[in-house]
Structure 1
Amino acid sequence: MNQLFDISSDDEDIIDFVEHLERPRKRRRYQERKNHLDYWDDQEFYNRFRFSKPSVRRILEKIEEAIKSPTNWNHALSPIEMLLLTLRYYACGSMLIVVGDFAGVHKSTASKAIFKVTQAIASLRLEYIKFPETQEERNKTQLEFYKIARFPRVLGALDCTHVRIQAPGGENGETFRNRKGFFSFNVQTVSDANLKILDIVARWPGSSHDSTIFNQSRLCGRFENNEMGNGLLMGDGGYPLKSYLITPLANTNTRAENLFNEAQIRTRNPVERSYGVWKRRFPILSSGISLKTEKVQWIIVATAVLHNMACDLKEQDPPSLSPEEERAFNFVNNVPVEPVRRNGNNNHARTNLIMYFENL
């Protein structure tokens, strides 16, 4: 055969490469992006982003310098577009490709923008998540709790809640499986009487017991070192009874004990209500976060910061959950708590409080 037509495989690769160079480069297409602030009326905007337009602008003022791109090269997202994209992700808990389409960007761009905004918001935690430090702040907090059920000296209501995540895999993956069988972070918070989060610990896997998380927390150390004076925490039966951590009686026999238990439960109730508001505002915390565990921790803290900002800005209550969301919320949050052994040395603290209710 004529050697002119005897083309080797190497020659074919060269020809394909030359043809590739001659082909016109595919033009990059940019999706149209809505101006959501102008497009939606106030209520529709709130339903989609869980914040009013003025509140979104306030949030933007706090983080704009940290998230803005140095140039508009490659049709970069503006700070307001990045913030709304992130809020939409928190509000619907959808896959990145879905919220990317909503914002008119590729899912990889959406992922980078969400994490950048999440870190910027979470970095505000020392400003927005803080325990009362001065005596004036403590007096105010104790008075607000006292108004609920006349329980004295209370600085916070303590509890844990599960934030659902995808199976993390790896050697320690099974430690994230909780007692209901799904994967989660067990997140400890302390709430004030107005549902604001005063303290948060978001690093423990779902199999961790509530009491273990508290005993290893910095807040426990501060109470153990008597930094909070005569202040008290309210906890449920999953916590050990301590001189500063008051739990309900398992059984009541007298009027004073009944009054004590009723007041203790009502005074502790704000932390449970705070979980309802927090997770209804940001359903991603209940539906499950399909990201690496390190990024999940940032999201938990960021949404806690936003929850407190919503409280400060007097935002309306988040919309009610759909029946499907309600089932998911109940499944995630009603994880049974194993009782812990009581420390008998601290019974006198609770006994003194029962005597206080006997004299009411």
Structure 2
Amino acid sequence: MNAINAIVHLANNADPARRRKLYRQRSNPFDLRDLNFEIKYRFNKDTVRTIIDLVEDDLVQSARGGGTCPELQVLVAIRCWGRREVQDDAGDLHGLSQPTVSRICARVAHAIANKANSFIKMPITIGEQERISAKFRAIKNFPGVIGAIDCTHIKIKKTGGDMAQYYINRKGYYSLNVQVVCDADLKIMDIVARWRGSTHDSRIFMESNIKQRFEDRQFRGRLIGDSGYPLLPYLFTPILRPSRPEEEAYNNAHISTRNTVERCFGVWKQRFQCLLHGLPVSLQNGKAVIIALAVLHNIAIDMNDTLLEQHMEQVPVTPQLSTENSVHDNRPSLLRRRSQLILQNFINQHF
């Protein structure tokens, strides 16, 4: 038997129980029409290529060329986050197994979240702060605002352990209470995504880095937030029982201006349906996903990628005056009086 016949004989008589590695057929998502691509992958093709370029070096294949290419990893992760698809279904669509999709989503989330400092940042220079303040003032003539602050609950999987009960929010489901500061363009400038769902908004703020930065007078403007936050010289809240026309006018301007953060949540969650319906991942990976999606939200704004909003059902956002009471106010009475005096002088001067 010559060498060729020997090879054929061995192949024909190979162990039938031995599994052969099968490679699934993979299509190229970039071959889709532009609108269809954007509906399925939440961004236009130029934005997705920008995202791929951003994290490509962090998603390299093995030295032998195996694994999934960075382009496909980013597309798979975005599709899972954006369309709330089951990982098994997303894997079938892209020729991948469910465990592979799970690992890809975690890997891409951490790669993007590691870039957060370049895309999520408060204005530093006086010029930047003045430009943001001017855009806020154009909404309802509310001067001096450089950020709108609020918290939103992101549903997570049921967690175990002794601390599990603290992740249950006042609506009865497990969540992370995520604090966001945004500008008038709905861009996220600061985000905190580590607090349990039962934590009050005011506590998150009082222990946040952004509060300390305002205390250190790094900013010339102020934040606006709902009545769940304490009134501070650099954080204006609504007047719950207005007694003068000027206070009514202040409240109306405050509601319309602060509504930017509600709209930010609406656009953010509409683009990424997992933020609306829940994150089917571990708690640690969930925190990375939230930060990564904030980065992607800002990239979309920078790229003026808004076509998706015209073709998808929008998350309803209704401006309203929050009636949620703040936690027990244990600030020194002198600070409370000073904050109230600053607010009244502001109202008398501008309204």
Match of residue 192 from structure 2:
201
Q: Which moved more, 1:238-247 or 1:115-124?
A: 115-124
- 1:277 counterpart letter in structure 2: V
Match of residue 87 from structure 1:
78
Match of residue 303 from structure 1:
293
User: Matched residue pairs, number?
Assistant: 326
With structure 2 as the length reference, what TM-score do the two structures score? Answer: 0.88
Aligned residues with identical type, % of pairs: 37
Rounded Cα–Cα distance in structure 2 between residues aligned with 1:306 and 1:206:
24
Match of residue 185 from structure 1:
176
Q: Return the offset for 1:62.
A: 1.0
Say which one has the larger Rg: 1
Match of residue 281 from structure 2:
291
- Provide, for residues 51-87 of structure 1, a one-character-per-residue CA deviation record: whole Å limited to 9, x for no partner: 001111111111111112134555x211111010011
1:215 to 180, 200, 206: 206
Rounded Cα–Cα distance in structure 1 between residues aligned with 2:116 and 2:160:
29
- 1:89 counterpart letter in structure 2: C
- 1:217 counterpart letter in structure 2: S
Rounded Cα–Cα distance in structure 1 between residues aligned with 2:127 and 2:171:
42
Q: Return the offset for 1:321.
A: 3.6
Contact 2:202 2:326 in 1 (8 A): no
Rounded Cα–Cα distance in structure 2 between residues aligned with 1:35 and 1:94:
19
Match of residue 349 from structure 2:
356
Q: Determine helix, strand or coil for the equivalent of 1:117.
A: helix
- When the two chains are superposed, the root-mean-square deviation of aligned CA atoms in Å is 1.9
Rounded Cα–Cα distance in structure 1 between residues aligned with 2:130 and 2:242:
30
Gaps of 5+ in 1: 1-20
Contact 2:228 2:325 in 1 (8 A): yes
Q: Determine helix, strand or coil for the equivalent of 1:203.
A: strand
Gaps of 5+ in 2: 1-13, 330-335
- 1:253 counterpart letter in structure 2: S
Q: Determine helix, strand or coil for the equivalent of 2:154.
A: strand
Structure 2 residue 239 is matched with structure 1 residue 249: yes
Contact 1:240 1:341 in 2 (8 A): no
Match of residue 137 from structure 1:
128
Distance 1:70 1:35, change over 3 A: same
Contact 2:150 2:201 in 1 (8 A): yes
Rounded Cα–Cα distance in structure 1 between residues aligned with 2:20 and 2:201:
55
Rounded Cα–Cα distance in structure 2 between residues aligned with 1:336 and 1:107:
44
Distance 1:72 1:101, change over 3 A: farther
With structure 1 as the length reference, what TM-score do the two structures score? Answer: 0.86
Q: How does 1:1-360 map to 2 (within 5 A)?
A: 22-38=15-31, 40-71=32-63, 73-74=65-66, 76-229=67-220, 231-316=221-306, 317-318=308-309, 319-321=311-313, 337-341=324-328, 343-358=336-351
Q: Return the offset for 1:178.
A: 0.2
Q: Return the offset for 1:41.
A: 0.5
Rounded Cα–Cα distance in structure 2 between residues aligned with 1:100 and 1:159:
36
Contact 2:227 2:323 in 1 (8 A): no
Rounded Cα–Cα distance in structure 1 between residues aligned with 2:83 and 2:64:
28
Q: Return the offset for 1:202.
A: 0.3
